Amino acid sequence: MFKNVAEFIEKASNPPVLKLAVAAAGDEEVLESVKKADELGIVEPVLVGNKGKIEEALEKVEYDFNGKVIATSSKRESAHKVMQLIAEGKADIPMKGLISTKTILRALLDESYALRTGRLLSLVTIVHLKKDNRFIIITDGGMNIAPDLEDKVQIINNAVELARAIGIKKPRVAPLAAVEKVNPKMPDTMDAAILSKMSDRGQISGAIVDGPLALDNAISKEAAERKGIDSPVAGQADILLVPDIEAGNILYKSMVFYFEMEAASVIYGAKVPLVITSRADRARVKLNSIALAKLVVQGLKNNN
Ligand code: COD
């Protein structure tokens, strides 16, 4: 299991070099991360977007780029061009540049590229908990707006597969809520209870699901003990299943922007992982996400 970001960047730097296609690449933070990933031998980039903006940003970050630049006349066109490159096998990993999440997700979902697999796609974010020197996975803070129970099962399955790619063999999953007791007036506690029972009965495999748990009891043994919670997940959750996009987005962004934790995000569930970070994320988070996507691609290949 990876203990920190440096370890998984090192692993991702091993050959083979994969092709990364970046949509709307004309942005300094984006190109800073791509430059580093290129230098480390993680990926060989193809830059798609407004040619003038790409050249300007390349110059600003002092990136002597010798690869391919594909000029497009709109952000939407650059998203579609990237998916076309993936569909044609000309690139291995798509990446969101300075473009809205909706636009890139719609291109990924576009049936003409046949990148969907029939399963639900979801955002999986890994965050490094400095205090415990370990990773935690947060899902889904960016794609599925208000997942129902069946969606939550698929969101868990995606996160469990990604957990394996970073070396967590049998992840412990905490469906989060505001309380630890099932309360019929709080629908997410009901979903959490059903998910836990589904896990007990083998309807969710490869993981241990137990909840509802509040955030503190999910990740802090001390907090769980103080409340007397007897659970195989409490205090040691690897995956935090958030109730909806708002909760997940706020949780993840508070950790990254306020507490400056290391993080990485990909959309999981399509034929390839999509590197997706917030436009405001710093180059470091973007680099981490490129590395994570590469490990996921390699994990998918090894599992097939
Ligand atoms: N997994 C697989 N297929 C999906 C998914 C999914 N998660 N979501 C939609 N689809 C399929 C549908 O089955 C349908 O066939 C097609 O895609 C279109 O679905 P719609 O009509 O729901 O599509 P949209 O374009 O209205 O919505 C899809 C989005 C992903 C754009 C939407 O869910 C969304 O806006 N999500 C939030 C994105 C966002 O703003 N995140 C901000 C955080 S950074």
- Is the pLDDT at 233 greater than 70, yes or no? yes
Q: Is 263 a domain residue?
A: no
Q: Which residue range(s) make up the domain with 195?
A: 122-258
Q: Is 294 a domain residue?
A: yes
pLDDT confidence bin for 20, thresholds 50/70/90:
very high
- Residue-wise pLDDT for 134-169, tens only, equals 999 999 999 999 999 999 999 999 999 999 988 899
How far is the centre of ligand 1, averaged over its atoms, from the C-alpha of 108 (Å)? Answer: 10
The values of phi and psi at residue 263, to 5°, are: -150, 170
pLDDT confidence bin for 218, thresholds 50/70/90:
very high
- Is the pLDDT at 304 greater than 60, yes or no? no
Mean pLDDT of 248-267: 94
Regarding whether 99 and 129 lie in a shared domain, the answer is no
Which numbered atom of ligand 1 lies nearest the CA of 119?
A: 2
How far is the centre of ligand 1, averaged over its atoms, from the C-alpha of 284 (Å)? Answer: 27
C-beta of 106 in contact with ligand 1 (< 6 A):
yes
Regarding whether 240 and 153 lie in a shared domain, the answer is yes
pTM for the model stands at 0.96
C-beta of 119 in contact with ligand 1 (< 6 A):
no
- Is the pLDDT at 240 greater than 80, yes or no? yes
Q: Is 15 a domain residue?
A: yes
CATH number at residue 163: 3.40.718.10
Mean pLDDT of 4-21: 94
Instruction: Kindly report the protein residue whose alpha carbon is nearest to atom 20 of ligand 1.
Output: 106
Per-residue pLDDT, 269: 97
Pocket test for ligand 1, best of 99, 115, 143 (most atoms within 8 A of CB): 143
Report CA 80 to chain centroid distance, whole Å.
21
Per-residue pLDDT, 202: 96
How far is the centre of ligand 1, averaged over its atoms, from the C-alpha of 231 (Å)? Answer: 34
Q: Is 265 a domain residue?
A: no
- Residue-wise pLDDT for 65-124, tens only, equals 999 999 999 999 999 999 999 999 999 999 999 999 999 999 999 999 999 999 999 999
Regarding whether 147 and 94 lie in a shared domain, the answer is no
Which numbered atom of ligand 1 lies nearest the CA of 142?
A: 43
- Is the pLDDT at 184 greater than 70, yes or no? yes
Instruction: Kindly report the protein residue whose alpha carbon is nearest to atom 3 of ligand 1.
Output: 120
C-beta of 105 in contact with ligand 1 (< 6 A):
yes
Number of domains the chain is built from? 2
C-beta of 120 in contact with ligand 1 (< 6 A):
yes
Q: How far apart are CA 171 and CA 210, in angstroms?
A: 11
Buried/exposed code over 51-76 (b: 16+ C-beta within 10 A; e: otherwise) = eeebeebbeebebebeeebbebeebb
Please, what is the average pLDDT of the chain?
A: 95
Q: Is 195 a domain residue?
A: yes
C-beta of 109 in contact with ligand 1 (< 6 A):
yes
Q: Is 264 a domain residue?
A: no
How far is the centre of ligand 1, averaged over its atoms, from the C-alpha of 105 (Å)? Answer: 7
Which numbered atom of ligand 1 lies nearest the CA of 121?
A: 1
| Structure-token pair, residue 27 | 């942005």
Regarding whether 288 and 173 lie in a shared domain, the answer is no
Mean pLDDT of 178-204: 97
* Contact (CB, 8 A) for 301 and 273: no
CA dihedral 283, 248, 267, 3 (to 10 degrees): 60
Pick the last residue of a domain from 258, 280, 295. 258
C-beta of 121 in contact with ligand 1 (< 6 A):
yes
Q: How far apart are CA 126 and CA 124, in angstroms?
A: 7
Which numbered atom of ligand 1 lies nearest the CA of 122?
A: 7
C-beta of 100 in contact with ligand 1 (< 6 A):
no
How far is the centre of ligand 1, averaged over its atoms, from the C-alpha of 120 (Å)? Answer: 10
- Is the pLDDT at 2 greater than 90, yes or no? no
